């Protein structure tokens, strides 16, 4: 009886429930809870950084347009404003405004002619601009934090709780995600719904069910309804579905299930698109507007890179922008993760296929199609990269030297964000030479987007400067609103002639172009820098 199977099982159970085994289990449980709590805490820090920064920044170029568009959709069910972007992100941003109830003049000529820049300007500054911006930016911060949460969950599910916390730290202290995650724009929302869709797709496992296909489809529709580049996501998901079906033993049965899943996802996506248009228009409006955007694309637009202007831009623009704008810790992590991936090709898994396929697909697609206007077009790729590079964490964390490497990179990433606060937009890494070299390399939303007028006004007031001349990012910036009542001149009037005596505060975007077309400006040295604006004294 002592050696019977029942007796042996009883002895095995007793061994497994010894105090030592229970202590190990308790330590593992505590460790999991600790790292999970740390990851969530770091995402709270991300939100706090953004909240502390929003009140210090004036409106960026696109925010008044997106905010008035979203509010007008709620109030009028009319989608004439800003048709070049689908409505969901704008609706979400404008949701708090339904409580504030600001004035929107739909009898104005700007509304009748859909002059979105002028309508947005009048809407924002005829109301309390700071209040509208604060409440409109809050939902964007929440969406950005949601993207961080999905990044954390996916890395944790793949590589463990320590890796999840590490991915959350890299996300939470990314200057680019902080820069754009607080703005009323479409780049971060589409990125959040993209990683959510791919995470839900990964959680389907080898076979889709109608339930998990439904949730994946709803998220897919949200990505598509946030930005027209979200329409790339169905192409990627369909490709991944084909690969997943091919991996199965019974491919006929697998593809049958995959087709049913795709149908459910497509139906759910169309439902969200219809919801984004508040059930007032056919989903065909989405595809009509998307086609119109492509038709109206200007291939001769002058793009700027490395001190050169070129019609149509460069296919490698986003790769160069990423190399300069991503933090050096992330670039190092990419190198380490690539080495790790190559060394483990024999154990290549479905997880790697999803993440790498998505990263490569988006980099290629955006490089081929996106305007050369900023690294923000690549923001949907950032969270995917952070999940993928977390693959090295389990191996490194188990060795003292590896642990030092991870902690150092994490601390470096934190410093990149903390030292940039609140001026995240003009961030450039050490490889690029930092923000002071930004205009020599890139322009537009990489260096300045009109967000620094508040700081410029405070700078002038604090130093009691009287002879100020301002050259802002856009003609729709409003320095008067922030107490900066000074002469405003376009950058063209500063070219080919030496400026008159005075203190010139000039957008770094304008500096980039002026240095390119007028060699004299390459010899002028700024005396100070205010976020994305440079100060010259003549």
What is the tens place of the pLDDT at every residue in 96-142? 999 999 999 999 999 999 999 999 999 999 999 999 999 999 999 99
pLDDT value at 492 more than 80: no
Domain boundary among 298, 321, 350: 298
Establish if 209 belongs to a structural domain: yes
Q: Which residue has the higher pLDDT, 497 or 180?
A: 180
Q: Residue 516 has which token pair?
A: 């390119």
pLDDT value at 13 more than 60: no
Q: What is the pLDDT of residue 28?
A: 72
Establish if 338 belongs to a structural domain: no
How many angstroms from the chain centroid is the CA of residue 440? 24
Domain boundary among 246, 272, 298: 298
Q: What is the pLDDT of residue 301?
A: 81
Establish if 402 belongs to a structural domain: no
Per the structure, the count of domains in the chain is 2
**What is the domain range of residue 249?**
1-298
What is the tens place of the pLDDT at every residue in 169-220? 999 999 999 999 999 999 999 999 999 999 999 999 878 899 999 999 999 9
The whole-model pTM stands at: 0.92
Domain boundary among 230, 265, 298: 298
Establish if 212 belongs to a structural domain: yes
Residue 350 pLDDT class (50, 70, 90 cuts): confident
Mean pLDDT of the region 451-462: 96
Establish if 135 belongs to a structural domain: yes
User: 503-507 and 468-471: which strand pairing?
Assistant: parallel
How many Å apart are CA 424 and CA 180, to the nearest integer? Answer: 8
Establish if 361 belongs to a structural domain: no
How many Å apart are CA 264 and CA 200, to the nearest integer? Answer: 14
Contact 164, 390 (CB under 8 A): yes
Q: What is the pLDDT of residue 249?
A: 79
Q: Which residues contact 492 (CB under 8 A, 6 or more apart)?
A: none
Instruction: Tell me what the pLDDT averaged over the chain comes to.
Output: 92
What is the tens place of the pLDDT at every residue in 19-42? 666 656 666 777 889 999 999 999
Concatenating the DSSP letter of every residue in 40-104 gives: HHHHHHHHHHHHHHHTT----TTHHHHHHHHHHHHHH----S-TTS-SHHHHHHHTTHHHH----
Q: What is the pLDDT of residue 274?
A: 96
Establish if 365 belongs to a structural domain: no
Establish if 422 belongs to a structural domain: no
């Amino acid at each position: 009886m002592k050696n019977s199977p029942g007796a042996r099982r009883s002895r095995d159970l007793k061994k497994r429930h010894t105090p030592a085994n229970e202590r190990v289990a308790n330590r593992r449980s505590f460790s999991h809870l600790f790292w999970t709590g740390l990851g969530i805490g770091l995402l709270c820090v991300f939100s706090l950084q953004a909240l502390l920064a929003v009140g210090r920044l004036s409106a960026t170029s696109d925010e008044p347009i997106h905010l008035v568009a979203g509010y007008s959709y709620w109030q009028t069910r009319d989608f004439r404003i800003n048709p070049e972007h689908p409505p969901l992100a704008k609706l979400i941003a404008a949701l708090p405004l339904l409580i504030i109830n600001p004035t929107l003049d739909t009898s104005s000529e700007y509304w009748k002619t859909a002059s979105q820049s002028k309508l947005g300007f009048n809407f924002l500054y005829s109301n309390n601009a700071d209040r509208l911006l604060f409440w409109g930016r809050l939902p964007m911060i929440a969406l950005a934090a949601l993207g961080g949460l999905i990044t954390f969950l996916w890395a944790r599910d793949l590589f463990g709780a320590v890796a999840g916390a590490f991915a959350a730290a890299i996300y939470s202290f990314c200057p680019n995600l902080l820069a754009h995650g607080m703005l009323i724009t479409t780049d971060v929302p589409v990125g959040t719904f993209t990683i959510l869709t791919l995470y839900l797709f990964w959680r389907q496992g080898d076979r889709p069910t109608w339930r998990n296909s439904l949730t994946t489809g709803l998220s897919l529709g949200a990505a598509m309804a946030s930005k027209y580049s979200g329409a790339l996501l169905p192409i990627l998901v369909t490709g991944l579905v084909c690969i997943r079906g091919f991996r199965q033993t019974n491919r006929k049965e697998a593809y049958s299930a995959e087709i049913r899943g795709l149908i459910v996802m497509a139906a759910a996506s169309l439902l969200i698109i219809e919801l984004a248009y508040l059930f007032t228009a056919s989903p065909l409006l989405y595809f009509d507007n998307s086609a119109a955007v492509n038709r109206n694309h200007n291939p001769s637009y002058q793009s700027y890179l490395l001190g050169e202007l070129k019609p149509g831009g460069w296919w490698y623009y986003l790769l160069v922008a990423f190399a300069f704008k991503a933090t050096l810790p992330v670039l190092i992590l990419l190198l380490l993760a690539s080495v790790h991936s190559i060394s483990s090709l024999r154990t290549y898994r479905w997880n790697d296929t999803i993440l790498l396929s998505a990263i490569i697909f988006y980099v290629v697609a955006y490089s081929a199609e996106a305007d050369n206007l900023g690294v923000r077009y690549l923001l949907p790729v950032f969270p995917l990269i952070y999940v993928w590079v977390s693959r090295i964490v389990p191996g490194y964390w188990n060795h003292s030297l590896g642990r030092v490497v991870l902690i150092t990179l994490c601390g470096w990433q934190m410093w990149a964000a903390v030292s940039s606060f609140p001026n995240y937009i003009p961030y450039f890494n050490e490889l690029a030479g930092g923000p002071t070299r930004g205009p020599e390399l890139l322009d537009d939303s990489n260096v300045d987007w009109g967000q620094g007028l508040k700081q410029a006004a405070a700078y002038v007031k604090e130093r009691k400067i009287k002879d100020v001349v301002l050259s802002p990012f856009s003609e729709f910036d409003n320095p008067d609103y922030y107490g900066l009542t000074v002469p405003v001149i376009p950058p063209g009037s500063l070219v080919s002639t030496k400026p008159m005596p005075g203190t010139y505060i000039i957008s770094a975007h304008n500096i980039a172009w002026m240095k390119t077309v007028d060699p004299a400006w390459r010899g002028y040295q700024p005396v100070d820098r205010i976020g994305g604006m440079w100060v010259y004294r003549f």
